[in-house]
Structure formats: C-alpha cells, structure tokens
Amino acid sequence: MTKRDWRNSRPFNIHRWSYDSDIDAWIDDFWHQHLSKLYNQPKPGPRPKSSPRDQFKVLMLDLYLCWRDDPEQCLGVSHDKGRYPAKSRYNALPLTPPVLFELIRVMSKRKLIKVLEGHINDQSQRITTRVWPLAPLIEHFESADFNHLQIGELESRETIILRKKVGGRQELVPYRDPEEAQGNEDSENVVTADWKIPLMRKRLETYNNLLRESFIDVACLEEPYIRTRAKDQDSRGPKTLYQRISQHNKSVRRMFNRASFEDGGRFYGGFWQRIGSDLRSTIRIDDQPTVELDYSAHHIRVAYAKQALLGPEDPYDLGKVLPEYEGNAALQRKDVKSLTLICMNATSPRNGFSAFRGQVQAAIEAGVRTGKVPTHKFCEKLLNAFIERNPEIEAYMNSDKGIKFMNTDSRVSDKIIDHFVQQDIPILCVHDSYIVPDQYEDKLREQMTEAFKAIIKVSNPHIEKEEHKPYTITEGYRRRWEEFQQWKENRS
C-alpha cells in the first residue's frame, strides 16, 4: 500500500447513525463475523452506558461514508478523552473512550483498519489519530446495497452548543435547560439556560429536518469536492486539500462562546459556509437555481446603529488608494474589511494586527495571494485611515465587541430562517448572507429588511445581491440529483 496522505482527512462524527433495519442487518453481519465473540463475556468494572455493538455502529457508518466519499480519505478520531464527555448532552449515544479505543485497537490488530497514531509534529501541532479501512472491511463496504442517504445522525444530537476557550482551544461547557432537574454534577460548573434555549433548539430541529429533505449541491462540480491549497505541516511546500460537498454535511448548529448565551450564537455546519461565493452562486436547491443576498458591512452597520446612525454606503471605502496597494483598490477594500472586523474582536491593536498579518500570511502560503505580509506599522496606518473615514465608531475598534455583534447578527438570522422554515422553503445561512431558490428573492429581501429593523432598530439596511456567473450543470450533479430523488421516492 502506498503511503497514506494523512491530510486527506475529515473529523469523526460521533453522532453518525441510521434507523434503517437493512443497515442494522448489514452492521450486524460484520459485527458477528469479526468482533462479537470478544464481547460475549462480561468484563470487570462498570458497564458502558452504550453497548460495544452500538459504538461500533457509529464508527462503522462514519468509516463507510468517509470511504464512500473518497477511498483515499482518512477519518480523524481524537484520542483525547475530553472529546467524549460522560453524562453530557454533547455525547448523545454516548460513546465511551475505553470501548471506542479498544474497538479501534482490536480492528487494527485484526487488520480490518489501519491506524496512524496521533502525534505532535515538528511544528508543535497536534495531529489527530487517522484510521482507514483495509481489505476485509472494504469488501463489506462494497457489498452495501442500500442508499447511503439512509445514513444520518442521532435524533438526540445537541444543536445548541455552549463553549469557552481554554488555552488554545475551545472546550464544551455543560448546561441544563430551565426545566431540567439538577443532577449529580458540580452545579458551579453547569450553566442554567433561560427559556429561550429549548425554543431555539426546537426551531433548529425543524430547520435541520427541512435541510435533510432538501437536495443541496454545487451544480458545476462533476465530483462532489473542491481542491484547495494549504501549507503542508510536514514540509515547506503547499499541499492539495479537499472540501467535500455532501448531503451528509448539511446539519446546522448554533455556537455560543465564553460560556454565555449572550456571546456568539451563529449558525454553523453546512458545507456552503466553507466554499467561496463563486461556487455558492452555482448551488441549486432541489434542482432550482438560487440567489444570495447579504447585508453589506453588517457589523460596521451594527456599530453605527448603536450610535443611532445608518453609516456611509460603503464604510470600507477610504476615498483613495494607499500607495502600498499600487492602484489595487479591490485588494485594499478587502484588507480594510478584514482588518476592521478582526480589530472589532481584538482586545488590543497588537492582537488585532497580529491576527490580520497571520491571515495574510496563510493566504500567501496557500497560493491565493502574492506579495509580502504587511508590517504592524502598515496595519496601524490602514486602521487609522478607516477611522478617519468612520470616526463615529472608533470606540469599537480593539474593543472586543465583535463577539456581541455576532450574537446580534445570529438573532437576525434566526428570525429570517424561522420565517422561511415556517413556509417550508429551504434557506442557507452564511452568517450575514442568505441563499434561497431564486423565485424567493423578493421575499428574502423583505424578510432581511424586517429582521434588521426588528433586531437592530434601523430601517432600510444596505442589502447586496451576490453576482452570479454563467455555469454548466455537470453530469455528476445530475447523477447525484437522481440518486436523491430515488431515496425520497423509496421512502414514500
């Protein structure tokens, strides 16, 4: 076997599941043939909260979908026990580390899967354990005669996520709904949500059900992935990466930060959030062309609204092109936008400038930008030029206000999404922009205006329509659409 490219990988979905009896029989066939005898005898110690067979099912189904998307793709399975919190709303089955890790060891020993152990690389970056199927498991994968769209997620998966930053990463924060009885957990470390959270969760469940029943794909792609370039963590050169476009990658959650339901709250999860606007313009929903509308300079206008002002038509326009951009007004505007939004989230100019410089460096390394990384001195010059044009909102720069503005725009999005879901109309959210079938363009514009006024208390927001370029619908897209239709027909 050739050397495996560990970068061609996606994270393990611990909530992968299917309620289909044919798939259960397919799982059981492999389980009884290869693994069940090892678990027939009771073992000492406390019993796991879910059976080894059910935990195997989660792993098996996600390995299958990973392999089906790309036989060369790896599944990234964290061996950090903190990723599988016991008695947690974030671990619905639940998976338990002793059982899961033992399953992986046994399957590796029996040459059913190959395991690349997690490690710390030369750049002090943590590399998650990678696993992929070997011949006996691949043979069973090839025997599958069911539609892969019958595989989904556990219905009890939590969609309202509360987290906080600890060290260099985000950690999940336990919380309870207002009607939930206090358990045995340390109450000082558990947040009690208010009445809005159960209602928010119910709306998200309805939204995700609508997305699951809707075909969402990029019509110009023959194969359902896009290639991207990034710096290889094991060498100095760039490496090809892949962004998968999948009907299994549509589930949406809301992420709240800093252990507070007043910070963050944006919608995350759909593949459309991880592709560029050029490809988003070729998204079709139930084989219908789409339109994308977005709030222009949304967080800047929220800052102006806090001062009871509407703000200029284009707050990122400096009125001139700085010499350093050599006449490239488009790049200057892009940098002004990135820098100011970063500085809204920063606690100091140094932190903001460092984050912006890191963003530019990553773009250069990925091959999507040329030139040099701007100095701190130039970042200061660029920010001052913006403030000179927008003095009314200077106080919001390097003020750590961005996290609050994210909460504001998430409430706007919630209102817009809920309206369309009630009308049974699929809608996609990219933070402050929205995609709907193009026959609903006027309805979307109307709802964006109403939601902005209701939440931000300002009328007539600046709404822009993303440019659509001509594209050709591929045969690969047509095959995926027919497969989705067949799945829906077989269930009716």
pLDDT digits (tens, 9 = 90+) for 335-349: 999 999 999 989 999
Q: Is the pLDDT at 1 greater than 90, yes or no?
A: no
Each residue's pLDDT tens digit, 348-368: 999 999 999 999 998 898 788
- What confidence tier does 176 reach under pLDDT thresholds 50, 70, 90? very high
Tokens found for residue 390: 């927008």
pLDDT attached to residue 366: 78
Quick one: what percent of the chain has pLDDT higher than 90? 74
Nearest alpha-carbon partner for 30 in 178, 144, 177, 126: 144
Q: Output phi, psi for 195, to 5 deg.
A: -65, -20
pLDDT attached to residue 236: 41
Question: 406, 267 in Cβ contact below 8 A?
Answer: no
Q: Which residue has the higher pLDDT, 460 or 228?
A: 460
Whole-number Å distance between alpha carbons of 350 and 256:
26
Compute CA distances 242 → 9, 98, 225, 229, whole Å.
Answer: 9, 32, 6, 9
DSSP conformation letters of 20-75: -HHHHHHHHHHHHHHTGGGGSS--SSPPPSS-HHHHHHHHHHHHHHHHHH-TT-EE
Nearest alpha-carbon partner for 207 in 254, 240, 248, 154: 254
Q: Which residue has the higher pLDDT, 44 or 454?
A: 454
Question: 335, 393 in Cβ contact below 8 A?
Answer: no
Nearest alpha-carbon partner for 256 in 445, 99, 404, 433: 404
Each residue's pLDDT tens digit, 182-217: 654 556 678 999 999 999 999 999 999 999 999 999
Compute CA distances 432 → 298, 331, 410, 491, whole Å.
Answer: 7, 21, 8, 35
Tokens found for residue 359: 């963003």
Q: Is the pLDDT at 292 greater than 70, yes or no?
A: yes
pLDDT attached to residue 227: 75
Question: 264, 256 in Cβ contact below 8 A?
Answer: yes
Q: Output phi, psi for 90, to 5 deg.
A: -90, 0
Each residue's pLDDT tens digit, 307-322: 888 888 899 999 999 9
Lowest mean pLDDT: which of 48-52, 116-120, 279-283, 285-289?
Answer: 116-120
Element (H, E) at 131: strand 129-133
Q: Output phi, psi for 228, to 5 deg.
A: -130, 165
Q: Is the pLDDT at 238 greater than 70, yes or no?
A: no
pLDDT attached to residue 125: 58
Mean pLDDT value of segment 372-387: 95
Mean pLDDT value of segment 2-15: 85
Q: Output phi, psi for 436, to 5 deg.
A: -140, 160
pLDDT attached to residue 235: 47
For residues 288, 246, 208 and 285, what is the CA-based torsion angle, rounded to 10 degrees?
A: 0
User: Which one-letter amino acid corresponds to residue 89?
Assistant: R
pLDDT attached to residue 183: 56
pLDDT attached to residue 225: 87
Mean pLDDT, rounded, of the chain: 90
Each residue's pLDDT tens digit, 249-258: 999 999 999 9
Cα–Cα–Cα angle for 425, 467, 476, rounded to 5 degrees: 65
Tokens found for residue 487: 């799945």
Tell me the pTM.
Answer: 0.90
